[in-house]
Amino acid sequence: MAKQVNVYEAKTQLSKLLEQVEAGDEIIIARHGKPVARLVPLQRAPVRRVPGAWKGKVWMSPDFDEPDPELENLFYDGPIFPDEDDRL
């Protein structure tokens, strides 16, 4: 439900009212008890992603997905808990 405040309170408490609006509340500003304005959270459009924004900024080795026998051996055949001597 919206909270109603008078113009004087809105002027003196604007920062607090804005915090409430940012939290999702709705504030009605009234003059002589009659609503004249409504403070509601601003609906911002989502930022659209632009394809290719990282082009030329990232380098990837041509063989990045080539199999590495040493890593595969460690992954599939290596010990789950290496000996103390093998740890770095």
What local confidence, expressed as pLDDT, does residue 76 receive?
86
Residue 10 contacts residue 29 (beta carbons within 8 Å): yes
Q: What pLDDT, on the 0 to 100 scale, is given for residue 71? A: 87
Four-way CATH pick for 3-39: 3.30.70.20, 3.40.1620.10, 3.40.1390.10, 2.40.30.10: 3.40.1620.10
* pTM value surpassing 0.85: no
Distance set, CA 35 to CA 8, 9, 39, 50 (Å): 13, 14, 11, 43
Predicted confidence (pLDDT) per residue in 3-59, tens digit: 999 999 999 999 999 999 999 999 999 999 999 999 999 888 888 888 988 888 988
Where are the domains positioned within the chain?
3-39
